Chain A
Amino acid sequence: MVRVTHWITVISFLALLVTGLEIVISHPRFYWGETGNAGTSPLFTLPIPASRATVPTAYGFVMPDQNGWSRYLHFQAAWAAVLTGLVYVLYGLWTRHFRNDLVPARADRSWRAYWAVIARYLRRAPADETEARSYNVVQRTAYLTVIFVLFPLIIWTGLAMSPAFAGVFPTAVTLLGGRQSARTIHFFVTWALVFFVVVHVAMVVQAGFKSRMRGMIVGEADAAEIPLEILPEISKEGV
């Protein structure tokens, strides 16, 4: 279940990222507060051409308008991601996946434990054997942050941009500082998620791309990586 939801999320995230950036091209200016448009001063402007002639950019041309299908696909992928996320979270609570595998052990809840892992990454020292079967404290924190902070935040800021949703839950917008603030936060949370994905993929490559991909696709950790004494246990579980 964790693996199936992971890959549906990957596909949805890629679709959301591409279409989201596409929508940004139609107005690559960001504001803070409730309102903002080509006639007001922006918080910052992306140095890219726009797909609308009404947006002042440093470029003498206008990109083709692709917002129609981008918006359709953005929301369709959002539905896929949110429903998948819901299944994953309910399943994770039910099977205690979060408590057993992701919440850092009591002994690891210290700056020293974090620094030990980070220092080991920086030295590029090999991981100890337990890491073939479980996550270290930095990984656990990163996963929990993505699942319980960044994902909820990007859904919230996305919904806050919906005029119909904002009518039902006006506080959801005012808490963020307004509609344009929601859009700006949505943009930055996207980059936080992209940063996570980049580091995550780099780590997978470093740990052995083939074996990790096999693990995440068919569900078998590479037998050679697993200490002998825990192998019988794994075969009992049927992985």
Chain B
Amino acid sequence: MSPISRRKLITTGLATTAGLAGLGVAAKLAEHYGLVPPDHGGVYGPGETLTYAAQRILTTHSMAREFPRGMISKTPFANEVAPPSDEFKRHQASGFADWRLAVDGMVARPASFSVSDLKSLPLRSHITEVACEEGWSYIAEWIGTPLIDVLHAVGALPQARYVAYFSIEKPWWESIDMADALHPQTILAWGMNDGDLPVSFGGPLRMRVPRQLGYKSVKYITRLTVTDSLKSFGKGLGSASPEAGYSWYAGI
């Protein structure tokens, strides 16, 4: 092996400096354009940030694939959930008549919606695929209220950057950025395949974020919070998923 020449040393030094400076500028730009995910720390932060930033640049206005009615799965798979809490069982016994969705945080008019309140807002349905991070999938028709219409109804403030949503089953909660929160296919689903949303599939109310994997579509939603920072929620990693070791962004 030849000894390292002075020229090589200088070019390597310059390239490293330029590279580090470039990284610094890239980090500033990424932060400015909202391309840094809340779980960007730690050993897997670089990969996670690259994935989120690349997909955000590519997908901000894209639509999740929709399928013809004939492709709806005859055997959709209801993933297991922990045994329901007593609180959930009480709601179930009364036919979910008192189920409420509280909306608070950075909104002009905090409000609480019943499922029939939600049904009085504009409706959207789509036939999309639920893909689990484990690898399996199914297609179903999802019927619900676009999240964007709920956000308009409560007057979400322009500083809002994320919407966090919470299940009645603790500690199950998630959050999405505004690109997904304002996306026309992101709905608060209360119907499935022309009927009510079955409990095993998240009834009476679940989030459906079809551009991300299944675990972002949290079941049994009772609360939404609009916020400009996720630092004060849970451990500050964005949702319950990173706290359990899973990535916050699940577009892949």
Contacts and interface: CB of A to CB of B under 8 A. Distances in A.
Interface in B117-142: 129, 131-139
Contact of A37 (B50, B62, B138, B211): B138
A67 B134 contact: yes
A144 interface: no
A152 interface: no
- Where chain A touches its partner, the secondary structure class is helix
A73 interface: yes
A173 interface: yes
Contacts of B251: 162-165
A166 B244 CA distance: 26
Contact of A163 (B44, B79, B213): B213
A222 interface: no
A219 interface: yes
B45 to A, nearest CB: 9
Interface stretch (B69-77, B93-101, B154-162): B69-77
Interface residues of B, number: 44
A61 to B, nearest CB: 16
Given A71-B247, A219-B1, A167 B75 contact: no
B80 interface: yes
A161 B64 contact: no
A163 B64 contact: yes
Interface string A53-82: 110000000000001110111011111100
Interface string B56-99: 00110011110100010101110110000000000000000000
Nearest to B209: A163
Given A75-B48, A179-B131, A67 B246 contact: yes
Interface in A165-185: 165-168, 170, 173, 179-180, 183
Interface in A3-25: 23-24
Contacts of A173: 65
B252 interface: yes
Given A173-B65, A218-B1, A164 B247 contact: no
B131 A163 contact: yes
Contact of A38 (B58, B129, B136): B136
Interface residues of A, number: 46
A166 B51 CA distance: 14
Given A72-B48, A75-B51, A35 B137 contact: yes
Contact of B135 (A23, A68, A72, A164): A23
Contact of B62 (A27, A77, A168): A168
Nearest to B135: A27
Contacts of A53: 80
Contacts of B75: 37, 39-40
Interface of B: 1-2, 44, 46-48, 50-51, 55, 58-59, 62-65, 67, 71, 73, 75-77, 79-80, 129, 131-139, 210-213, 241, 244-247, 251-252
Interface of A: 23-24, 26-27, 29, 31, 34-40, 52-54, 67-69, 71-73, 75-80, 159, 161-168, 170, 173, 179-180, 183, 218-220, 238
